[in-house]
Amino acid sequence: MCGRYALGRPHAAIYRGLRGRYNAPVIEWVGEDRFQPRFNIAPRSQAPVLRRRESAPQDDSERSIELVLHTMRWGLVPHWSKHDDQNLKTINARAENLIEGGGTRMWNSIKGKKRCAIVCDGYYEWLVKGRERLPHFTKLESGELILLAGLYDSVLLEGQTQPLWTYTIVTTNACKSFAWLHDRQPAILSTPAALHAWLDTSSHKWSSQLSRLLDPYADDQHPLTCYQVPKEVGKTGNESATFVEPIKERKDGIQAMFARQQSRVSSPSPYASPEKRKREPTPDITEQKSISKKAKIQKVNAWEDVSEIDYVDDPVKPIKQAQGCEITPKTDNSAMKTNTSENDTDVEIIDAPSRGTAISTSGFRPKEPSVSSATSSPSKRSRPAEKPSQASSRKTLNAESPGKITSYFAKAP
């Protein structure tokens, strides 16, 4: 069967193709504005057919110039119909039903006087492989127009003011070279003589000569070609000029994409640099982490000389009095004074010298311990008992003169 075909060339090209290839000059196109070039013509679509003018004279000398194009709807509706029955399966008519002496009422009433030729670039057929259906496009190798044998009819339906013109495509057995694709194919009128014989309806009768025109295609002078096309053509709403192109040659197909990639690899761009710039190796993340850790360790250990460092316990809260010392403000001549009433906000108290920590030498003066003050103030915490060695050293230190004590702390680091 034939369920889809294409006619994508402009109107002017259709005129030229009919006049040049088939010697069929067209004097009129009825409903030309209702047809737009399409590559996916489906049933119930509007498309042009070539027919003879019904009121034409029967003189043979004028028969060749009485052809008209007529835009009709695909899917024949018989002339006795009152309603448009969408359940009719009349997009194709089998050639076996048109043979002389056979056929049904529908075909017998029109096959003698309402024959036409469907104009197309080629037709689609689906190859069945298991559950897959692969569309193929068949056309002439020369790329010229193809004319398919057909029948047409007109009917005035109830409630309508204009007649409805419809047509059907005649199918026959597939030729041997295309039997692999499908067992049926459209009946093709490949020569001007076959076209004019098919369109000659002057006798209003069917003849054996017309039956021979419906034989499987066997014109070696005008061979056909067939190739696979994209599956998108299977949907009637789709429309694209690429539907009639082989999949391997499509510019937007997968094969074309791989071909472009292969060409880029085989033929590099002339603008490319002869030598590629070598990329520097990126250091490992673990190495970066180890380097950063080493840098931190070096930063911590960078202060090796502690001779000038003061170790402060709490620099935010300065203390007025240290253990065994009293605080005096700093002076320009570095003299030690025992004035405890002065403002001591700039003085930092670190720790008693007995604990072995470094303190600032300015603003500190040792104070002699007082037994009465230690015993009389219960609020102060009593110091734990010291060892004899520590006690003797403290007494020796307190027994020294203030001047010697000052010089002692001045030498301290």
Q: Identify whether the C-beta of residue 326 lies closer than 8 Å to the C-beta of residue 367.
A: yes
Give the angle 84-44-184 at the CA atoms, nearest 5°. Answer: 115
Calpha distance 48→70 (Å, rounded): 5
Task: State yes or no: is 226 an active-site residue.
Answer: no
DSSP-assigned beta bridge partners for residue 28: 68
Assign 257 to helix, strand or coil. Answer: helix
DSSP 354-389: GGT----SSSEEE----HHHHHH-TTSPPPPPPPHH
Counting beta carbons within 10 angstroms of the beta carbon of residue 72, is it exposed (0 to 12), middle (13 to 18) or buried (19 or more)? buried
Picking from 73, 80, 47, the residue whose alpha carbon sits closest to that of residue 156 is 80
C-alpha distance from residue 254 to each of 25, 243, 258, 282 (Å): 42, 14, 6, 37
Catalytic residue among 2, 116, 120, 226: 2
How many CA within 13 A on the CB side of residue 241? 5
DSSP state of 133: E
Task: State yes or no: is 125 an active-site residue.
Answer: yes
Catalytic residue among 66, 116, 120, 125: 125
Calpha distance 198→113 (Å, rounded): 10
Q: What is the CB neighbour count within 10 angstroms for residue 189?
A: 26
DSSP-assigned beta bridge partners for residue 185: 172
The dihedrals phi and psi of 193, each to the nearest 5 degrees, come to -65, -45
Calpha distance 166→188 (Å, rounded): 19
Catalytic residues: 2, 125
